Amino acid sequence: MKSKVAVHDPRGYPPKVTGKRLAPRLESLQGKVVYLVDCLFDNSDVFIGQLGNWLGERFASADLRLIKPRQSWVDDPDMRARIEADGDAAILGVGL
């Protein structure tokens, strides 16, 4: 019978995960302020524009607002604050 050996686990230590709840949902997009966030990946502005067109055709009373962060891949607290201050919903996209 082959002998057994003890070896170290090579992995690092992951952080504890703390659950976070989702925000309350809307009954409808009609009459609501919906931010369309262009994440700045190449061509994402075109996609977000097309998604905005689609939503505008179906939710005529929705206030659709295009917005961009300062840079791609970097959190933009000012942009988030603006969305949280007067937005009812947000759609983020898209790239690659």
Partner 1 sequence: MALEQGGVPTVAVHTDVFARLAQSVARANGMPTTRQAFVPQPVVGKSAAELRAYVDGKDPVSGRPFAQEVIDGLTEPLGDTDLTGLSFERSTPRLLEPDTEDNLHALFAGNGWTDHQPILLPTEERVAAMLAGTSRAPDETVGRLRPTRYREFWEFTVEKVAVNAVMAGARPQYLPVLLAMAASGLSGRSSSTTSQATVALVNGPIRDEIGMNYGIGAMGPYSHANAAIGRAYGLLSQNLQGGSVPHESYMGSQGNFLSYNATFAENEAASPWEPFHVQHGYAADASTVSLFLGGWYTVFGGGPRETWEQKFTRSLQACDPYTGPIVALDPIVARDFVSLGFDTKQKLIDWCVEHARLPAKEYWDNQWVQTLFHPQAVAGVEPYATLLAADPDEEIRMFRPEDIHVVVVGGETGAVWKMLGGGPRRTTVTVDDWR
64 binds partner 1 (CB under 8 A): no
Q: How far apart are CA 87 and CA 61, in angstroms?
A: 14
Structure tokens, 16: 């504890």
Structure tokens, 28: 């409808």
Size of the site for partner 1 (CB under 8 A): 63
Q: How far apart are CA 95 and CA 48, in angstroms?
A: 10
Per-residue binding string, partner 1, 18-57, x by CB under 8 A, is xxxxxxxxxxxx----xx----xxxxx-xx-xxx-xxx--
Question: For binding to partner 1 (CB under 8 A), which residues are involved?
Answer: 2-29, 34-35, 40-44, 46-47, 49-51, 53-55, 68-73, 75, 80, 83-84, 87-96
